[in-house]
Structure 1
């Protein structure tokens, strides 16, 4: 099990990653729809992992 600080750090990293993937997907959507779909899929996966860690963090806090 990870410490609270490790969870917070990882949550921030995944949140930034999801936002970056989403932003890249929007930027490239006009020229490459397939790549845009892949980036959005990656953003969604990062967001889901982030949510799982948030739930774990909530369980650890008193």
Structure 2
């Protein structure tokens, strides 16, 4: 079981990661569509994990 602080730290990391992948995908879309798709998929996956951890944090704090 993770502590609340561990969850908050991981949530921040995943949020940054999702944003970075999304930005990289936007840049790559200009030159490499396949790379852009891959990066957007990674951004979606990071975002899903982010949302799951937010729900877990709410459950622990609730």
TM-score by length of 2: 0.98
Q: Do residues 23 (structure 1) and 23 (structure 2) align?
A: yes
Q: Count residues in correspondence.
A: 62
Q: Unaligned 5+ residue runs, structure 2?
A: none
CA RMSD, Structure 1 to Structure 2 (Å): 0.5
Match of 2:42 in 1: 42
Deviation at 1:30, TM superposition (A): 1.0
Give, in whole Å, the separation in 1 of the partners of 2:7 and 2:58: 10
**Does residue 9 in structure 1 map to residue 9 in structure 2?**
yes
Please list every run of at least 4 consecutive aligned residues from structure 1 whose deviation after the TM superposition is greater than 2 angstroms: none
d(CA) in 1 for partners of 2:28, 2:40: 11
- What TM-score, normalized by structure 1, do the two folds share? 0.98
Matched, 1:54 2:54: yes
**Unaligned segments of structure 1, at least 5 residues:** none
